[in-house]
Amino acid sequence: MSKQITAGELASIVQTLLCCPEAHIGLDDARFSAMMTDITMAVCKHAGGEPLGVAELFEDDWYISIVRNERLPEDGGIWADYDLDGELEPYSVFAWGD
């Protein structure tokens, strides 16, 4: 029988992968960047917004930029409560597809 994973368990796994350096065994910076970028793309696909480039390490933390697209609610949707100084600039040149 396959493992049955709940939404809460999946959220915990993703949180561990993103936030606990000891869980990064086998993930070099390139693979971690790709994983974080892929997760961001999945969130954007379903909640709106677009990643602008790939996740990058800056001053001991990982970041990825998000821009506005046509699927993002006017109020900023899922991204509204994060980086309050940043702005969701309009979607321009970056498209990851649907």
Taking only the tens place, the pLDDT of each residue in 25-83 is 778 899 999 999 999 999 999 999 999 999 999 998 999 999 999 999 999 999 999 99
Q: Is residue 47 part of a domain?
A: yes
Q: Is residue 2 part of a domain?
A: no
pTM of the shown model:
0.84
- Give me 64's structure tokens: 């990825």
Domain count, the chain: 1
pLDDT at residue 25, as a whole number: 74
Domain that holds residue 46: 7-79
Q: Is residue 98 part of a domain?
A: no
Q: Is residue 52 part of a domain?
A: yes
Q: Is residue 53 part of a domain?
A: yes
- Length reported for the chain: 98
Q: Is residue 84 part of a domain?
A: no
Q: Is residue 94 part of a domain?
A: no
pLDDT at residue 97, as a whole number: 54
SS3 34: helix
Q: Which of 27, 20, 42, 13 is nearest to 3 (CA)?
A: 13
Q: Is residue 11 part of a domain?
A: yes
Angle at 65 between CA 92 and CA 10, to 5 degrees: 120
